[in-house]
Chains A and B, each alone.
Chain A
């Protein structure tokens, strides 16, 4: 608990008060938003992934570089 307080103090000092204090609802909101955005692109991902992922991955062999 004491450690938490200390952390919060530190946040205030460094000028990130808003984020630290209002973290919970906002961060959850932000998290939800990102989840939704990501959900929306999952179908798009299937469009760009190679159909036969397994074979593609198996064939992705490079020589060592440098």
Chain B
């Protein structure tokens, strides 16, 4: 596929820290957060004027699914917009609690693990061709997903054999299978959920639940950009096999455990490679692909950054403390420990490890680094602010966004899902939007035009 639709779903961690001792059921807090977003309603599932979906996930997590994007840049921007939208709900929800006599702070974390070893995810979705042998595709993708954590990981201090270690990935320890259909009991590298939200004869969905949530825009950009590119190469018939791992699940954990990136993992047949070496094989094929093929600037930019990052990782990972989450956070933690003379198992380090992911910009440590100019950004804040209310202009999300804005302006109740739009009431007609690549829908345009005339 030359053009591809992709999207991200982020599940956020949520806690209320009361000034006092009254702990509240999360449902209640989440309810108030929703109120801030969609006043006077409790649908716990809402599409927004920017085309995104905001809802309550299993386990009481607020979840934000970006609108359909066909540019990686747009996806980075809309993923950040999700953080800002949630952040804007915090003061309203805290005020509601205070009115009930419960003062305290709500924290929302864009991370993947709590203190007990529970996990929640950041899911990636890629539209892909149906007419390929899915199992052959996954075989070629698995070594890529196992090794890409060296630039997509968000880092985590974990106890192992009684001692605290810094791991590269939050998610790696929670993955138990190569492929499976479950997301909650036996999480896998490749999930087989297949809801393309498009013509299912032509397309299927590639649903990836192995990745960490990223604060760094650079990491999100690379994560989605490289994955989409590798998928395109496989769809084009390039052979990316030969890197099959003897035990991918084990290999992923081994790589996560070694921030020096020197650990070699075993391939089928006994050969051993580091994660960087595995990534380099994919990169070299990608370089050949973008120079020979009919490939757009976005993909060329992805390859350039990908190469830069692998080179730096090879020289010295600490050089990427502006770009890569696990490295930026590690630098912060190391400096803190130096200055305070404490160790990795100090509760303050655990707090720091968590608060790097706090989405409130005046409290989150990622944002503290941003303010000091210590983080490389991809988007400008202006882009992000625009994305709070405006969908990407080149996909179906535009139709959805226009429709919702129209319905709200007319004060009409509506029912919307990824593939259809409906105004509720006596004039009920469902408008189907099965093509995610199409940003124009005649029925929606007519509807808006007619309403404008009546006015």
Contacts and interface: CB of A to CB of B under 8 A. Distances in A.
A49 interface: yes
> Which of A16, A45, A59 has its CB near the most chain B CB atoms (within 10 A)?
A45
Contacts of A65: 11, 57-59, 61, 63, 118-121, 184
Interface residues of B, number: 55
A35 interface: yes
B424 interface: no
Interface residues of A, number: 33
A27 interface: yes
Interface stretch (B244-252, B331-339, B376-384): B331-339
Nearest to B331: A38
Interface of B: 11, 13-15, 17, 23, 26, 57-61, 63, 114-116, 118-121, 123, 183-184, 187, 209, 307-308, 311, 314-316, 318-319, 321, 331-332, 335-336, 339-340, 347-348, 350-352, 354-355, 362-363, 365, 368-369, 372-374
A61 interface: yes
Given A59-B15, A65-B120, A66-B11, A45 B184 contact: no
A44 B370 CA distance: 13
B17 A56 contact: yes
7 contacts: A34-B374, A37-B374, A61-B115, A62-B60, A63-B26, A64-B118, A66-B187
Nearest to A63: B59
Interface string A47-66: 01110011011111111111
Nearest to A58: B115
Nearest to A27: B319
A57 B347 contact: yes
A42 B349 CA distance: 12
A17 B209 CA distance: 38
A2 interface: no
Interface string A26-38: 0100010011011
Nearest to A23: B315
Interface of A: 7, 11, 14, 16, 23, 27, 31, 34-35, 37-42, 44-45, 48-50, 53-54, 56-66
A57 B184 contact: no
A48 B60 contact: no
B57 A66 contact: yes
Contact of B372 (A23, A40, A54, A66): A40
A40 B316 CA distance: 24
Contacts, number: 118
Nearest to B60: A63
Nearest to B116: A61
Given A66-B120, A66-B209, A50 B184 contact: no
A16 B315 CA distance: 13
Contacts of A11: 311
A7 B314 CA distance: 10
A45 B183 contact: no
A16 B314 CA distance: 14
B61 A59 contact: no
Contacts of A63: 26, 58-61, 118
A33 to B, nearest CB: 10
A41 B336 CA distance: 9
Contact of A60 (B15, B308, B365): B15
Contacts of B332: 38, 45
Given A11-B311, A14-B311, A61-B114, A45 B336 contact: yes
A14 B351 contact: no
Nearest 6 CB-CB pairings of A with B: A65-B120, A63-B59, A66-B183, A53-B351, A54-B347, A62-B114
Contacts of A37: 372-374
B105 to A, nearest CB: 9
B350 A34 contact: no
